[in-house]
C-alpha cells in the first residue's frame, strides 16, 4: 500500500496508526476496516502497540512525509485479520495525520489533527486456499 502527501506542507503520521512500520509485515493495531460480503467486521487477530511519552521530537513517534512524497509498504492482511473463511472482502483505511506538530515542555506532541480516507479495495480470497494462520507461524513484533 502507498500513502502520498498531496499537500504543500509536511505531514506527520503517527507510526502506530499506519501500515508503514512493516516489521515482519505486521500491523500495530486495527488499522484497516475490513468487512465480509454480509458487511460484518472481520476480526483483528494481531497485536496492539501503543507509544507512551514523553517525547523529545515529533519524529520519535511520527513518520514525516514531505509534499509530493510517497511511502510504500507491503501489507500481509491474513497475518493480522481473520480471513480464513475466504470470500469477498472490502478493505478501507482512514489515516490520521498532524500538521505543524510541536513537542510541548512536558513531552507531549500537539498539532492540528486531520484524517484522510482511502479508496475501497475489494478482495476475493478462495476458501480452498485460505487457512488459519497458526500462532507459531506468526512472527512476533519484538526482536530477541
Which pLDDT belongs to residue 132?
57
> How many domains does one find in the chain?
1
Which pLDDT belongs to residue 54?
87
Which pLDDT belongs to residue 144?
40
Mean pLDDT for the chain overall: 85
Is position 92 within any domain? no
Which pLDDT belongs to residue 13?
92
Is position 89 within any domain? no
More confident: 120 or 142:
120
Residue 74 has pLDDT above 60, yes or no: yes
Is position 74 within any domain? yes
* Residues written for the chain: 144
Is position 72 within any domain? yes
Is position 101 within any domain? yes
pLDDT > 70 fraction of the chain, expressed in percent and rounded: 85
Is position 110 within any domain? yes
Is position 54 within any domain? yes
Is position 58 within any domain? yes
* Average pLDDT value for residue range 52-62: 87
More confident: 135 or 52:
52
pLDDT > 90 fraction of the chain, expressed in percent and rounded: 47
Which pLDDT belongs to residue 143?
42
Range of the domain at 6: 2-34+44-81+97-118
Which pLDDT belongs to residue 1?
83
Amino acid at each position: 500500500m502507498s500513502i502520498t502527501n498531496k499537500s504543500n506542507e509536511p505531514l506527520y503520521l503517527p507510526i502506530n496508526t499506519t501500515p508503514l512500520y512493516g516489521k515482519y509485515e505486521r500491523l500495530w493495531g486495527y488499522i484497516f476496516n475490513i468487512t465480509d460480503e454480509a458487511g460484518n467486521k472481520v476480526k483483528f487477530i494481531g497485536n496492539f502497540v501503543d507509544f507512551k511519552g514523553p517525547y523529545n521530537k515529533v519524529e520519535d513517534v511520527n513518520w514525516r512525509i514531505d509534499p509530493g512524497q510517497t511511502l510504500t509498504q507491503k501489507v500481509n492482511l491474513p497475518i493480522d485479520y481473520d480471513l480464513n473463511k475466504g470470500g469477498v472482502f472490502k478493505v478501507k483505511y482512514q489515516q490520521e495525520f498532524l500538521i505543524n506538530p510541536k513537542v510541548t515542555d512536558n513531552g507531549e506532541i500537539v498539532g492540528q489533527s486531520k484524517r484522510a480516507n482511502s479508496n475501497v479495495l475489494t478482495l476475493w480470497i478462495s476458501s480452498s486456499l485460505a487457512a488459519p494462520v497458526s500462532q507459531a507461524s506468526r512472527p512476533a513484533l519484538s526482536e530477541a
